[in-house]
Amino acid sequence: MNAEAQVTQLRRQLRRERRLFIFLLLLLLLIIFALRRGQRVWAIAVDGVEQVYVRDAAVAEQVLAAIRSAAVEHSEIPTQFAQNVRYYPVRYRNQTLSTPQQAQAVLSSLLDVLVRAYAIIIQGQPIVALATESEAREVLDTLMAQYAGRVGVLVEEPTTLETVTIEPRYVYLSDLAETAEEGVARLTEGTEARAEYVVKAGDVASRIAQAYGLTLQELQNLNPGRDLNRLQIGDRLRIQESTPLLTVVTKEAQTVEQTIPFRTKMIPRPSLRPGERQLKRPGRPGRERVKIIVTCHNGREVSREVVAKEVLDPPIPEEIYVSEAEISAADQ
């Protein structure tokens, strides 16, 4: 074979190899394109808005679990998010993939962790929650006992004016009391901030009380232990009670002895002139035993009801002689 034939053959071979190379290159590009079109990442969405993208479902679960565990000390406490949180696969379109740490930092600022606890619900509104049902009941029992201990003989168990229930719920961490004592404090602190008055130069207690529609005794009751006769400039006086969240009703039985006043009986005597009187028999008061039911709201008396009376010593009426004219005038 001469040189020209060899060159021709070599050129054909080069063209075939070039075509094969181009074919293989195109095939590789098609494969890469197909792979990229089919590649998926996982989106984590909060309330329907995709916030971060992670490599796979395991990473998404890891990130959300880390946020929940960082919010509560005890991992055995059930938790959930206040927001609607979902994670799902999406087609990769050059989204920025977050590391677990980056995803956790972004989502922690968007999510509120709720914990499952036992909420004390007053008039349909959750007020405070405890980790266990027994702790929630301890809060109510402690509060009842506080007011029951201020009275004497109870005629019935303390009750509440409001409807109170204990229900398992998911609550915000800020609504969770760590101890029963803290739960009692939250229930007794009231729904409004207690108003205060700062004493100024020339102030006296009576004028302060009058300015806010209080009696001096009511002002003293709002400020137990304070000497209202020795006020100093800058002293703070409470002038308004907070509205209680819970009204504990106690009914106490009291038995007292009291005097029965005697009545006066007038007897006519013809020999007496108008205006003249003569004592026939002095009167004497009697005595009776009275049973009273005292109703208190949060330790403050709101009513008294007499339920029974027993006469121990009947009164003796006073008898007086008077003129017939006085009797006639009294009849008219």
Q: Among candidates 259, 265, 306, 247, which has minimal Cα distance to 285?
A: 259
pTM of the full predicted structure?
A: 0.61
Last residue of a domain, one of 84, 111, 138: 111
Asked if residue 232 has pLDDT above 70, the reply is yes
88 is a domain residue: yes
Considering the domain architecture, whether residues 257 and 313 belong to the same structural domain is answered as yes
263 is a domain residue: yes
What is the domain extent for residue 30? 1-36
Asked if residue 107 has pLDDT above 80, the reply is yes
Considering the domain architecture, whether residues 143 and 163 belong to the same structural domain is answered as yes
Quick one: pLDDT band at residue 191, thresholds 50, 70, 90?
low
Instruction: Kindly state the average pLDDT of the residues 198-214.
Output: 87
What pLDDT shows up at residue 154?
85
pLDDT averaged over the chain? 86
What phi-psi label fits residue 238: left (phi over 0), alpha (psi between -120 and 50 degrees) or beta?
A: beta
CATH of the domain at 298: 2.20.230.10
Quick one: pLDDT band at residue 190, thresholds 50, 70, 90?
low
Last residue of a domain, one of 92, 111, 130: 111
What pLDDT shows up at residue 213?
82
CATH of the domain at 222: 3.10.350.10
Pick 242 or 21 by higher pLDDT. 21
Quick one: pLDDT band at residue 26, thresholds 50, 70, 90?
confident
Considering the domain architecture, whether residues 16 and 58 belong to the same structural domain is answered as no
78 is a domain residue: yes
Q: Report the distance separating Cα 224 and Cα 252, nearest Å.
A: 24
| Cβ pair 65, 73 in contact under 8 A | no
Last residue of a domain, one of 54, 87, 111: 111
227 Cβ contact partners less than 8 Å away, ≥ 6 residues apart: none
What pLDDT shows up at residue 201?
86
61 Cβ contact partners less than 8 Å away, ≥ 6 residues apart: 87
Considering the domain architecture, whether residues 138 and 178 belong to the same structural domain is answered as yes
Per the document, the length of the chain is: 332
| Cβ pair 99, 109 in contact under 8 A | no
Within the chain, residue ranges assigned H as helices are 3-38, 57-71, 100-108, 133-148, 180-188, 205-211, 216-222, 324-331
Considering the domain architecture, whether residues 72 and 134 belong to the same structural domain is answered as no
Q: How many domains does the chain have?
A: 5
55 is a domain residue: yes
Of the ranges 72-76, 190-194, 328-332, the best mean pLDDT one: 72-76
217 is a domain residue: yes
Considering the domain architecture, whether residues 327 and 253 belong to the same structural domain is answered as yes
243 is a domain residue: no
Considering the domain architecture, whether residues 164 and 234 belong to the same structural domain is answered as no
Instruction: Kindly state the average pLDDT of the residues 81-99.
Output: 91
